[in-house]
Amino acid sequence: MRAALVGIDFGQGDFAASVEELQLLARSAGAEPITTITAKRAAPDAAYFVGSGKADEIAMAVQDHRIEIVIFNHALSPAQQRNLEKRLNIRVLDRTSLILDIFAQRAASHEGKLQVELAQLQHLATRLIRGWTHLERQKGGIGLRGPGETQLETDRRLIGERVKALRARLGKLRKQHETQRRSRGRSQTFSVSLVGYTNAGKSTLFNAVTKAGVYVADQLFATLDTTSRRVYMGQEVGNVVISDTVGFVRELPHQLVAAFRATLEETIHADLLLHVVDASSPVRMEQIEQVNLVLKEIGADHIPQILVWNKIDAAELEPSVERDEYDKISRVFLSARTGAGLDLLRSAIVEWAMSAPGARLNQTYAVDEEELADDAELADDAEAAESSPTLTQVGSH
């Protein structure tokens, strides 16, 4: 699908890096960026976000390049999105909708699909009127008075019922996770979660440490579902549980943070976070800040972190370890792809596990494999999806 990308520089952050990330997001969603339109503004325009003059420029680009979709690098209000679609006579997506679409494509497990659907419905609820603009143009007549509003109310009721059902099912899965965590807590098994910006190499590192075989690709949000594995770290600490989580990104939609809270809670309850950083990225410090913002939002900012500077082969760095003023390991430089520095990371995990409060040393814990199953496997045991109204036709008329 031929896409035109639109980015507005409001003088905040690295604008060039943000536009480059939009291109990656668009390609991850299956679009082909043909042209990128940028501008500088002090504040968004209330009607079109970009102003009427820039909207006309976008319209000309749509015609000249045979564009099929316009993607904004910002969150648009329902009114702005509707106004732009009327003016451009083409479908317009904002950043939130784009990320939701990528998540919908990537979700593999039952729980992941439920979380994405919940986020999509919450986003759709504010934009229902877009699907019924053909009814707005009807000027009355027998049988044509008010059908749009009636249909909107029906859609809202259907969405409300579906959202309620999804939350109930996710609540059951959340209780399963809490039971598993309590079991691990009783055995005092040390738990580690990998977090980081999307495409920083978390899944590659996870595979290198655990031999799990999780799907890896050079794209944003290649994996969404949390996967946990037990890894034997030697006689000093025995087994350690390591979990791979969904990647973060700039301005991660609040709907996704809320919907994926059950998945991200694996991060909240970890004993140690491995914050994976792309050492070769020129905006790595900004990415670190964005990840820490999301961790704060989900209540995981108090958990100890080791910054894992990955891809040192691309950054031309050597494997090494840095310590803080308390002589604790704070950074590990490695390459998950080549394996350089992985031994340093294992040693760092062992050191942190041995210093953890209440750590039982010289004992190998027998952790129930059911605790460490993927979310997809857990969801297979979940109660069959209860019947609920279908929304396949909502907003599609």
pLDDT tens sequence across 154-190: 777 888 888 888 888 878 877 877 776 666 555 578 8
Ranges of residues in the chain with a pLDDT under 50 are: 130-147, 149, 360-397
Residue 224: per-residue pLDDT: 63
| CB half-sphere exposure, 77, CA atoms < 13 A | 10
Residue 186: per-residue pLDDT: 55
The C-alpha atoms of residue 28 and residue 30 are separated, in whole angstroms, by 5
Model confidence, pTM: 0.71
* Order of strands, sheet of 272-278, starting from the edge strand that comes earlier in the sequence: 227-232, 239-244, 190-196, 272-278, 305-310, 329-333, 320-323
Comparing CA positions, the residue from 220, 199, 223 lying closest to residue 112 is 223
Residue 141: per-residue pLDDT: 45
| CATH (residue range 2-93) | 3.40.50.11060
Provide the token pair at 319. Answer: 């494997």
8 A C-beta contact, residue 245 and residue 193 = yes
| CATH (residue range 188-376) | 3.40.50.300
The C-alpha atoms of residue 283 and residue 362 are separated, in whole angstroms, by 42
Residue 386: per-residue pLDDT: 42
The C-alpha atoms of residue 197 and residue 307 are separated, in whole angstroms, by 12
DSSP structural state of residue 130: G
> What is the torsion angle, in degrees rounded to the nearest 10, for the CA atoms of residue 282, residue 286, residue 287 and residue 291?
170
User: Do 188-376 and 2-93 have the same topology in CATH?
Assistant: yes
pLDDT tens sequence across 310-334: 999 999 999 999 999 999 999 999 9
Catalogue the E-assigned strands of the chain: 2-9, 32-40, 69-72, 91-93, 190-196, 227-232, 239-244, 272-278, 305-310, 320-323, 329-333
Number of alpha helices (DSSP H) and beta strands (DSSP E) in the chain: 14, 11
Domains in the chain: boundaries: 2-93, 188-376
Whole-number Cα distances in Å, 335 to 162, 231, 305, 317, 359: 44, 19, 18, 9, 29
